[in-house]
Amino acid sequence: MIEEAVRLLQSHHYRITKQRRSLLEYLSEFKEQYVSITQVTEHMKTLYPGMSFNTVYRNLKDFSEIGIIETKNKPTGACVKYQCDFGNLHHHHFICQNCGRVMEVEMCPLTMFQNQLAGCEIKGHRFELYGLCASCNQKLKKI
């Protein structure tokens, strides 16, 4: 389950410590929703009481830079989720505002915007759709 992430770390010359493996195992539980960095830190401290917030944060930053996790800033703080598609690092999401489920959106709308910005060079983008997933939508309609 986490072997792709381990290979990616090794290819970037990171040692695979038991702490990193534990962090990867925990993060791999969050492929379909974001988890707060605070929650990740609290979990890691239960496994390794001496582990600092800075150590967890530094590893999460490294994981993000090489594409193991995705990050998002929410009003409540920074959140992360495990990469849902290592074969397609460029993708977008639909996020359920009720249950927090994250689903991958296959189409990228960048060309539509690029055509409207003649002479501009887009350096990056993030595209997210928000609403109710099918399950939450169905549950709420029954109420």
Annotated binding site for Zn(2+): 96, 99, 133, 136
- What is the identity of the amino acid at 85? D
Q: Which residue has the tokens 């999401």?
A: 93
**Residues making up the binding site:** 90, 96, 99, 125, 133, 136
Nearest to 9 by CA among 25, 18, 22, 20: 20
What's the Cα-to-Cα distance from 129 to each of 42, 66, 94, 119, rounded to whole Å?
Answer: 29, 24, 5, 27
Helix (H) or strand (E) holding 73, with range, is strand 69-74
Binding positions for Fe cation are 90, 125
Nearest-5° angle of CA 112, CA 80, CA 35? Answer: 125
CA angle 39, 76, 19 (to 5 degrees): 25
